[in-house]
Amino acid sequence: MNYRHSFHAGNSADVVKHSLLIALVRALQLKQSALTLIDTHAGCGLYDLDGEEAGRTGECMQGVMRAFADPNPLLDDYRTAVQAVNVGTETRFYPGSPKILAQLLRPQDFLILNEKHPEDVHVLRSAMRGTSAAVHERDAYELWLAMLPPRTPRGVVVVDPPYEQLNERERITATLAAAHRKWAHGVTVIWYPLKDRAPHERWKQQLRKLGIPKLLNVEHWLYDHDQPGIYNGAGLFIVNPPYAFTQALPPLLEALRAALAPEGHRGEITADWLGD
């Protein structure tokens, strides 16, 4: 599945991913020790929802625009992060994970971004100007391992590939296994699109075999019944999520489900431990 992010900016997957990412980092920041935040597939950093690529799909109407129309205060942190890159009350621009993570940085924290696509990394550097982020142009999986363990006591690795390569899941699985051997207590977030259940279930079985003790799987299915051949939702694998995050997760997930459910569908969002 090809998931070039500029075509999907601000869709339902972004709303879930970024809402949970904000909650995760904030939970980790309840402790004062420094964090290193690493984004292996950073993309462009900032997206114009009125631009040609995002406008071609219009997916933001079923994502960020629904989140802004929903009154639930549990979505306020997410809305604040999006509004921070816009002027006044308009919602023209959408922040990718790099811009959101940069907003969350404390003085003691560090942000490392990586993007291999030459055009995207040029846009990313421009988008991150004025921040303290370090921007790399390397193979994502090589960088993932090279940066571990980070210099700070704690950290988060965000893995958000476009799934353009047929072996993307295999590379993620192999790199995660190696990363866990180097940095067993580290927090890792792996995003993925949901299209067909069968290959995804096979991937989950492969991840279970890694024997990672704390591997949380959050899945958001948009429709009550799978829609053949189209995007049905997205999910996250989260290694070593902090206790404060998992305890606060159920009401946030319900708020996201309710805000993003397509007309005529209830949708479903779940959180389960893969190792259990």
Q: Is 154 helix (H, G, I), strand (E, B) or coil?
A: strand
- Is 160 noted as a catalytic residue in this protein? yes
Cα–Cα distance, 60 to 5 (Å, whole number): 12
Which of left, alpha, beta for 219 (phi over 0: left; psi -120 to 50: alpha)? beta
- Rg value, the chain, Cα: 17
Phi and psi, residue 187, nearest 5°: -100, 130
Are 271 and 237 in contact by the 8 Å Cβ rule? The answer is no
Cα–Cα distance, 192 to 217 (Å, whole number): 11
Cα–Cα distance, 205 to 150 (Å, whole number): 29
Q: Is 269 helix (H, G, I), strand (E, B) or coil?
A: strand
| Structure-token match 């980092």, residue found | 25
Q: What is the DSSP string of 30-45?
A: TS-S-EEEEESS-TTS
Are 44 and 6 in contact by the 8 Å Cβ rule? The answer is yes
Cα–Cα distance, 208 to 56 (Å, whole number): 38
Q: What sign has the CA pseudo-torsion 153, 275, 219, 243?
A: negative
The single residue of 70, 160, 196, 224 carrying the catalytic annotation is 160
Q: Active-site positions?
A: 160
